[in-house]
Structure 1
Amino acid sequence: METFLGGKDFLKGVNKKAFIAIVFVTALCVSLGLMAMRKNVTIVYDGKEERVVTFASTVEALINKQGIEVQEVDKVVPGLQEKLKEDTRIIIHRAFEIQLIEGQQQKSITTAEKTVGDLIETLDLKLGEKDKVQPDLHTTLNPGDIVEVIRVTEEVLTENQEIPFQTTIKYNEELELGKTRRIQEGESGLKEIKLGITYENNVEVAREVIEEKIIKEATNEIVEKGTGNILVTSRGDTRRYREVLIMEASAYTAGYESTGKSPGDPYFGITGTGTQVRPGVVAVDPKVIPLGSSLYVESLDRTPSYGMASAEDTGGAIKGNKIDLYFENRSDALRFGRRKVKVYILD
């Protein structure tokens, strides 16, 4: 028949060294377990940083234990349900208010996001390829900031545009002076234009021509203007001429500003043909108007005509359909400036 030993008898039956070893091992395991649960964690919030030692298992448990109040709109990184590890760094971002403008609407938004890009992502605002955000996505958010989402759209518009015709004037000596005759009617052309138009929040901000295509060429109007071969001068005299030219006229004097020569220079006031410069002398391109030709220079802008002239001079800048008119007074030359004139080459 079995019998059970009492407590004292049991201890007597157990090897004391073995018992001590068991107690030590148990205490060591408990100690190691507690050490494994013990973690050094940093909490950053409200402008301060705290280093704490904790046995809490989650971020939320630690925050509650520390008595830190977290509102639903605040943002905690890592999340509240994340497991704590050694050297975990917890950052609590306090929510603040900003203004969000999207299109024509403006509203207040409470957010704890760090950057504009984080805010856009949190609000699930889908941005098109051309859409813009001001300030840019990398900008740090601060209380009271204004964030604007600009919706950008583009369209291609095709429109037809009239091409105005030009008028070509032909001078006809066979037609009486001052008479005109239309020998070809002018007709406008037509071209197709493709325009790229950019809108921001449905407001047009830019347009550019993408493509142009001529549908119909314009037909120029051709008008004959009679010149005859009899000229009536501003003094009422009549002169016969053999050719008339529309030329660009300028003005010069004998002075240094025009010729580079001053009084005392042996060539001061001497023309290209060796004559003495005087009112009525003009400089021409000999390839256009032969030197020695008698001319009549008529104004085309209702100002007094220069009148009778003699082609006796030349100039380095006087090439082609250009003529330089001599004036004795520099102020008169400056007043004349540059203008179009009609030059009659007289018989």
Structure 2
Amino acid sequence: MESFLGNKDFLKIVNKKVFIAIGLVAIVIMSLSLMAIKKDVVVVYDGNEVTVSTYAGTVEGLLLKQGIEIREEDKVVPELQEKLKDGARIVIHRSFEIQLVQSQREETIMTAEKTVEDLINKLDINLGEEDKVEPHLQASLYPGEIVRIIRVTKEVVTEEKEIPFQTTIKYNDDMDYGKTTRVQEGRTGVKEVQLQITYEDGAEVTREVIEESIILEATNEIVEKGTARLLVTSRGDTRRYKDVIVMEASAYTAGYASTGKSPGDPYYGITRSGTQVRPGVVAVDPKVIPLGSKLYIESMDRTSSYGLASAEDTGGAIKGNKVDLFFESREAALRFGRRKVKVYILD
């Protein structure tokens, strides 16, 4: 009996040691497991960068434990549902306000995207091939930025347009100056024009001609214009003239007072052209009226016109639009004085 009780006590002692050993092993395994799931991560937010040791399984779990509030529009990289890994770097991009303009409608939105392209993708906005985005897709976004999406559409239309006729002028030397005669009537033509019209947000911005074809040719107008300048002299004669100039007229004689020469001087009464001075000879500026030109001097003050003349002489004071008229007597010259005249240059 004593021997049996000894064995029973022995078994109790053995069982107790096994239990203790199993417990110690479990504690070791649990400690090792806890050590295995512990992670060191870096969190970057609001200008801070901190290293955190955590047992959290996801990014969201870590942020909740750290008391870091995340707004719906904020952007977290990696995303909140991502499993947390040792050595991970978690960056929180805070959202900010921008203005988005689409089809001329403006709205305020919150975003944490870095570029315009990221914003477009985030908002799931579909862009057409011709649509414009301002600023460009690769531009960085900043608080207060205005992002414009301009919808561009194009259409091709066909229009009929008039072709204006041209007027051709033919000059006729046998027709009185200023007189015109229509030789051929003008007629407008018609052409078909294919246009590409570009619209931005529904407003037309450009029209580009793609193709055009003539349906009806235009007929040019032909006008004949007279160039013959006719002058009726004080005697009733008709003369052709090339030009008319308003000039300041003075008077001179062959005497010493006008020419500095007296009778007996070998050059007395001799013109610059080498001719003998006589009524109808006038002195001109050769740069304005060539020597030898045939003229008609017409009065502008209702006095008698000097009449037909010949440009044969010059004078030191006769420069530009000036003409000096020869008179035989000093009294006639003084009586004429100075006055405005029309000088017709005859054909």
Range into which the TM-score falls when normalised by the shorter chain:
0.5 to 0.7
- How far is 1:7 from its partner? 3.4
The 1:30/1:277 distance shift into structure 2, 3 A limit, reads: same
The 1:102/1:240 distance shift into structure 2, 3 A limit, reads: closer
Q: Which amino acid aligns with 1:198?
A: T
The aligned counterpart of 2:211 is: 211
Q: List per-residue Cα deviations over 1:105-148 (Å, max 9, x = no partner).
A: 21221223232222221211111111122222223333332222
The 1:9/1:199 distance shift into structure 2, 3 A limit, reads: closer
State how far apart, in whole Å, the 1-side matches of 2:72 and 2:187 are. 75
**Does the 8 A contact of 2:233 with 2:239 survive in 1?**
no
Q: Equivalent residues in 2 for 1:85-96 (5 A)?
A: 85-96=85-96
The aligned counterpart of 2:116 is: 116
- How far is 1:232 from its partner? 2.6
The 1:24/1:233 distance shift into structure 2, 3 A limit, reads: farther
The aligned counterpart of 1:187 is: 187
Q: List per-residue Cα deviations over 1:237-276 (Å, max 9, x = no partner).
A: 63369xx9xxxxxxxxxxxxxxxxxxxxxxxxxxxxxxx9
Q: List per-residue Cα deviations over 1:283-309 (Å, max 9, x = no partner).
A: xxxxxxxxx99899xxxxxxxxxxx99
**Does the 8 A contact of 2:176 with 2:230 survive in 1?**
no
The aligned counterpart of 2:72 is: 72
Q: Which amino acid aligns with 2:55?
A: F
Q: Which amino acid aligns with 1:232?
A: L
The aligned counterpart of 2:163 is: 163
Greater CA drift, 133-142 or 146-155:
133-142
The 1:233/1:171 distance shift into structure 2, 3 A limit, reads: farther
Query: Can you give the 5+ residue segments of structure 1 that lack an aligned partner in the other structure?
Result: 245-275, 283-291, 297-307, 311-326, 331-343
**Does the 8 A contact of 1:280 with 1:309 survive in 2?**
no
Match of 2:141, SS? coil
**Does the 8 A contact of 1:165 with 1:218 survive in 2?**
yes
The 1:40/1:135 distance shift into structure 2, 3 A limit, reads: same
Is structure 2 residue 52 aligned with structure 1 residue 58? no
State how far apart, in whole Å, the 1-side matches of 2:157 and 2:294 are. 60
Q: Which amino acid aligns with 2:190?
A: L
- How far is 1:76 from its partner? 1.6
**Does the 8 A contact of 1:170 with 1:225 survive in 2?**
yes
Greater CA drift, 104-113 or 177-186:
177-186
Q: TM-score with structure 2 length normalisation?
A: 0.61
The 1:99/1:23 distance shift into structure 2, 3 A limit, reads: same
Match of 2:82, SS? coil
The aligned counterpart of 2:11 is: 6
Is structure 2 residue 285 aligned with structure 1 residue 279? no
The aligned counterpart of 2:100 is: 100
State how far apart, in whole Å, the 1-side matches of 2:30 and 2:232 are. 128
The aligned counterpart of 1:143 is: 143
Q: Which amino acid aligns with 1:37?
A: I
Percent identity over paired residues: 55
The aligned counterpart of 2:152 is: 152
- How far is 1:328 from its partner? 4.3
The 1:150/1:227 distance shift into structure 2, 3 A limit, reads: closer
State how far apart, in whole Å, the 2-side matches of 1:277 and 1:58 are. 107
State how far apart, in whole Å, the 2-side matches of 1:102 and 1:79 are. 29
State how far apart, in whole Å, the 2-side matches of 1:295 and 1:92 are. 100
Query: Can you give the 5+ residue segments of structure 2 that lack an aligned partner in the other structure?
Result: 243-284, 297-308, 312-317, 322-344
Instruction: Say what the alpha-carbon RMSD is for the aligned residues.
Output: 4.0
State how far apart, in whole Å, the 1-side matches of 2:155 and 2:110 are. 36
Q: Which amino acid aligns with 1:280?
A: I
State how far apart, in whole Å, the 2-side matches of 1:106 and 1:114 are. 20
**Does the 8 A contact of 2:239 with 2:346 survive in 1?**
no
State how far apart, in whole Å, the 1-side matches of 2:44 and 2:239 are. 104
Q: Which amino acid aligns with 2:13?
A: K
The aligned counterpart of 2:230 is: 231
